């Protein structure tokens, strides 16, 4: 076992270089002033104060959270019936449906978003609606697959037992199927909400610059404006929000497992 334990060292080095160091750099930029040299760092919280003192930045953050929340709700409302229908199919038919859902995901998300940009370019719809379409299209498969996995693992004997005890189809669904599939819903929420709240190229391509989210702000301050300190502060605020969201979803997942067990 000691010999095998050494195999983890390359992964630890990779994590430090690719994850830990960039995060430390973001934290360092966020709490220092712009234009500092390495030897004369001046620490400050002005970047965070600037974010919350201006009405524009919190409004963009709220818009991003609202966009991600509504995208997640739409994905649940559309994804659950689709996953439920797939779980009712025979194994071969269900496998074909899974293939059809995952097939578009073989193409890069950026390319698919560009395709939707061409499809929606001639339509007289608002920039916000175009962004919602792009968001739901790109993240819906994650929701469907997570819920389908949870539904397919439900023991069919439980459904038969519920019917034998006098429960109709609606009661069986509400008291057996739905509670047992909530773990898949929670996993789907994690896979949809977290990337949706920080997405930047979908609103950029489909919104045409008219619908700015927090991810677009971060990109602009890093690339266009060159204000890495303020961009890092926004990134750190988003990282904290994402960590809180992950904690909430993990707690919900734990609670649903305790209820079903």
The enclosing domain of 149 has a CATH number of 1.10.3720.10
- Return mean pLDDT, the chain: 87
Q: Identify the band that residue 48 occupies on the pLDDT scale cut at 50, 70 and 90.
A: very high
**CB neighbours of 157 closer than 8 A, spacing ≥ 6?**
none
Q: How many domains would you assign to the chain?
A: 1
- pLDDT in the model for residue 9: 81
Query: Average of pLDDT values for 117-141?
Result: 88
Give the pLDDT band (50/70/90) at residue 188: very high
- Domain contains 83: yes
What pLDDT, on the 0 to 100 scale, is given for residue 146? 94
pLDDT at 3: 65
Give the per-residue pLDDT at 37: 54
Question: According to the model, what pLDDT value does residue 74 have?
Answer: 96
The residue with tokens 């929420």 is 189
Task: Tell me the chain's radius of gyration from C-alpha atoms.
Answer: 23
pLDDT in tens, 233-259: 999 999 898 889 888 888 877 777 665
Residue written as token pair 């896979």:
191
Here the tokens at position 54 are 């201006």
Does residue 30 fall inside a structural domain?
no
Inter-residue contact 228 to 34 (CB < 8 Å): yes
48: nearest Cα among 175, 238, 261? 238
Q: Which domain holds residue 86?
A: 55-260
* Low-confidence winner among 47-61, 129-143, 149-163, 247-261 (lowest mean pLDDT): 247-261
* Helical ranges in the chain per DSSP H: 2-5, 9-15, 21-30, 46-53, 56-88, 91-102, 109-120, 127-152, 156-164, 169-172, 178-197, 201-207, 214-219, 228-260
Q: What is the pLDDT of residue 260?
A: 60
Q: What number of CA atoms fall less than 13 Å from residue 133's CA on the CB side?
A: 20
Report if residue 145 sits inside a domain.
yes
Residue 230 lies in a domain: yes
Q: Is there a domain that residue 24 lies in?
A: no
Tell me the C-alpha to C-alpha distance, in Å, between residue 37 and each of 34, 42, 226.
9, 9, 16
233 or 35, higher pLDDT: 233
pLDDT at residue 104, as a whole number:
87
Is 27 part of a structural domain of the chain? no
Arithmetic mean of pLDDT, 180-207: 90
Is residue 123 very low, low, confident or very high in pLDDT (cuts 50, 70, 90)? low
User: Region 111-122: what's the mean pLDDT?
Assistant: 87
Q: Which is higher by pLDDT, 118 or 40? A: 118
Residue at 11 is within a domain? no
């Amino acid at each position: 076992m000691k010999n095998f334990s050494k195999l983890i060292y390359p992964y630890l080095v990779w994590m430090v270089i690719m994850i830990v160091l960039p995060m430390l750099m973001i934290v360092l930029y966020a709490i220092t002033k712009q234009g500092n040299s390495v030897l004369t760092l001046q620490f400050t919280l002005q970047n965070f104060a600037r974010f919350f003192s201006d009405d524009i930045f919190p409004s963009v953050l709220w818009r991003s959270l609202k966009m991600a929340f509504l995208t997640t709700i739409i994905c649940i409302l559309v994804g659950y019936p689709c996953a439920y229908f797939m779980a009712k199919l025979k194994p071969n038919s269900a496998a074909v449906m899974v293939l059809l859902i995952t097939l578009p995901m073989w193409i890069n998300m950026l390319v698919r978003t560009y395709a939707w940009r061409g499809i929606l370019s001639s339509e007289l719809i608002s920039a916000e609606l175009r962004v919602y379409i792009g968001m739901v299209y790109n993240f819906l498969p994650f929701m469907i697959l997570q819920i389908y996995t949870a539904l397919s693992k439900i023991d069919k004997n439980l459904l038969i037992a519920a019917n034998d005890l006098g429960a109709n189809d609606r009661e069986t669904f509400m008291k057996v199927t739905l509670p047992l599939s909530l773990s898949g819903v929670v996993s789907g929420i994690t896979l949809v909400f977290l990337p949706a709240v920080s997405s930047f190229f979908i609103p950029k391509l489909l919104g045409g610059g008219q619908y700015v989210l927090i991810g677009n702000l971060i990109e602009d301050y890093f690339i266009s404006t060159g204000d890495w300190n303020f961009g890092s502060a926004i990134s750190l605020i988003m990282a904290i929000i994402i960590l809180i969201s992950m904690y909430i979803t993990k707690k919900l997942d734990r609670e649903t497992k305790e209820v079903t067990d």
